[in-house]
Amino acid sequence: MNTTATGHFDTISWDEHPFGEANGGPKLARASVTNTYHGEVEGRGTVEYLMMYHDDESATFIGLEQIGGRLGGREGSFVLQHRGTYRDSTATGTWSVVPGSGTGDLAGLAGEGGFEARHGEPATYTLRFTLE
């Protein structure tokens, strides 16, 4: 049975460092980020992002996030694979649960969803999921 979880998350730390900008090419950066989730996902996530900044100050990003806590009343952890863009002070992303990453009561978790985060505001999320 598919269930949709909704809520918001707060980014509580963001540590970003450039790692490439060769021969006038685009700026590349990595960021270590910590999020606190509220709503149907309750817990803490740590994510590693890789980003490419464009000349217009927008960016494209990918990342992996491990979330530990509760989902739908079940406790455990899982990993989300992120993909998205940052434009006009808003990050918009899609994510999917990495197969086999669920632990504890969340073993067998599958799902996908996304988020929208306006700079300086809590991000809203959805996660459509199933548990085997």
CATH value of 3-131 in 2.40.350.10, 4.10.520.10, 1.10.1060.10, 3.40.50.2300? 2.40.350.10
Please tell me the predicted confidence (pLDDT) of residue 20: 74
The amino acid at residue 13 is: S
Please tell me the predicted confidence (pLDDT) of residue 120: 87
The pTM (predicted TM-score) of the whole model is 0.94
Six-digit token string for 33: 């980020």
Asked if residue 2 lies in contact with residue 130, where contact means CB atoms within 8 angstroms, the answer is yes
Please tell me the predicted confidence (pLDDT) of residue 1: 65
CA nearest to 70, candidates 120, 19, 7: 7
> For 85-131, how does the pLDDT look when each residue is reduced to its tens digit (9 = 90+)?
999 999 999 999 999 999 999 999 999 999 999 988 999 999 999 99
> For 32-85, how does the pLDDT look when each residue is reduced to its tens digit (9 = 90+)?
999 999 999 999 999 999 999 998 989 999 999 999 999 989 999 999 999 999
Other C-beta atoms closer than 10 Å to the C-beta of 55 total 7
Q: Sketch the domain layout of the chain as residue ranges.
A: 3-131
- Whole-number CA gyration radius for the chain: 15
